[in-house]
Amino acid sequence: QVQLVESGGGLVQAGGSLRLSCAARGRTFSSSVMGWFRQAPGKEREFVAGINWSGTNTYYVDDVKGRFTVSRDNVKNTVYLQMNSLKPEDTAVYYCALQRTLRLDSRTYIPTQYDYWGQGTQVTVSS
């Protein structure tokens, strides 16, 4: 069993930055793909970023490329999402998720392909 706990959300002005963290409890973290998703009110949960087991490969949705950076520390069992140049449209609940596979592929983008989820952390960007 794996538990994921997100932190780092909050209220920030447009153009500001936040760093989200997701701490994992369980043995499979270092051999798993980690994903970040977000869900705004009235919208479906959408993929934001993904990182492979070793941290050497990453995927991003086009909207956040150049602004967000996903990274991981397999010693600390933690994955991070550094969010810069935030926009009001980034406002959402952000979730981390674990997929029990080593590599990124087409499944990385699909929420139902993930095995464990955190509880989410709210990010609000004011204009």
Over residues 38-83, the pLDDT tens digits come to 999 999 999 999 999 999 999 999 999 999 999 999 999 999 999 9
* Residue 42 backbone phi and psi in degrees, to 5: 75, 5
Cα–Cα distance measured from residue 117 to residue 103, given in angstroms and rounded to the nearest whole number: 18
Summarised one tens digit per residue, pLDDT across range 88-127 is 999 999 999 999 999 999 999 999 999 999 999 999 999 9
Q: Cα 71–25–60 angle (5° rounding)?
A: 25
pLDDT given at position 115: 97
Cα–Cα distance measured from residue 39 to residue 48, given in angstroms and rounded to the nearest whole number: 10
pLDDT given at position 93: 98
- Return the structure tokens found at 41: 């009110």
Amino acid at 63: D
Summarised one tens digit per residue, pLDDT across range 23-46 is 999 889 999 999 999 999 999 999
